Amino acid sequence: MSATIIDGKAVARDIQLQLAEDVRSLARDRGVVPGLAVILVGDDPASRVYVNNKRRMCEKLGMYSEEHLLPAATPREEITNLIKRLNADDRIHGILVQLPLPDRLDERAVLEAVDPSKDVDGFHPVNMGRLVMGSPVFVPCTPAGIMELIRRTGIDLAGKRATVVGRSNIVGKPVSLLLLAQHATVTICHSRTVDLVGVCREADILVVAAGRARLIGRDHVKPGAVVIDVGINREPSGLVGDVDFDEVREVAGYLTPVPGGVGPMTIAMLMKNTILAARRFAYCEHP
């Protein structure tokens, strides 16, 4: 058996077509053009690439975008003052602080300065709290993308065993809550989990976000399982995921590639959240 490879690029393209239409209708019906502001502190090359990709996607979809590129030494107060200005700016519906921030900055304090109604990354405690309580507004983008890829397999999650490897605030925890909301029975693994192979092997749905190249091999995977590889690891040969693709494709039912799986979905979901924020602004649906 060989797994069906889930083409994240194709799904993301499909979503973009719908989003471009949503942007047009919002402009036509309410005169509102969704606007995204991205703040990058420092000059991390990978972050620079991500910021450029976001700007290009905004242009492609007919959205407004602003980039705020700040030197690595920018004081926290200057960053939070910029966020306050953007919170009050009606052209801006989504504010994204590119992570990681330089170590000296208190990431939590910076993220909490973003108005929850413009928090299109979904990392503000208000939006995280809504997610925990089962009534999310802005779902974090990578977890939202993962759920969309799983949805498109057509598999009903109710009663299924789901295992998530990784417990970060940006991927592992939120995706676990989303799987739970779809009535899966969810287990979260992390670096201190004993018998990772045994726990993973029970999973009908296996989501891996550990940041360890080829952590998951054939033995970790139940035959026929849906395997979603979130990992992005840079090796001399190029990007590789957390899943050993060649081994696991022989066992899994569905498998996402790296690159071309979860990655393209993340940016599509960011645009979707920004358009949602603009709609809520246009139709006065703020909380």
Residue 174 binds ligand NAD, judged by CB under 6 A = no
Residue 231 binds ligand NAD, judged by CB under 6 A = yes
Phi and psi angles of residue 162, each rounded to the nearest 5 degrees, phi first:
-120, 135
- The rounded distance, in Å, linking the Cα atoms of 163 and 220 is 11
Contacts of residue 181, Cβ cutoff 8 Å, sequence gap at least 6: 134
Residue 205 binds ligand NAD, judged by CB under 6 A = no
CB of 263 to ligand NAD, least distance (A): 4
For the chain, how big is the Rg over CA atoms in Å? 19
CB of 194 to ligand NAD, least distance (A): 10
β-pairing verdict for 238-240 and 233-235: antiparallel
- The rounded distance, in Å, linking the Cα atoms of 142 and 241 is 15
Choose the stretch contacting ligand NAD; rule: CB under 6 A; options: 69-77, 160-168, 179-187, 270-278.
Answer: 160-168
- Binding-site size for ligand NAD (CB under 6 A) equals 25
Length of the chain: 287
Residue 168 binds ligand NAD, judged by CB under 6 A = yes
143 neighbors 175 (Cβ within 8 angstroms) = yes
Closest CB to ligand NAD among residues 68, 173: 173
CB of 223 to ligand NAD, least distance (A): 22
* Candidate residues 63, 82, 86, 171; the one interacting with ligand NAD per rule CB under 6 A: 171
CB of 32 to ligand NAD, least distance (A): 28
Residue 198 binds ligand NAD, judged by CB under 6 A = no
CB of 90 to ligand NAD, least distance (A): 30
Token couple for 101? 């921030």
Residue 61 binds ligand NAD, judged by CB under 6 A = no
Q: Where are the alpha helices (DSSP H) in 165-212?
A: 172-181, 196-201
Residue 170 binds ligand NAD, judged by CB under 6 A = yes
Residue 35 binds ligand NAD, judged by CB under 6 A = no
In whole angstroms, how far apart are CA 203 and each of 32, 74, 153, 188, 233?
A: 44, 45, 16, 11, 24
- The rounded distance, in Å, linking the Cα atoms of 12 and 256 is 13
Contact residues for ligand NAD (CB under 6 A)?
142, 165-168, 170-172, 189-191, 193, 196, 209-212, 215, 230-233, 262-263, 266
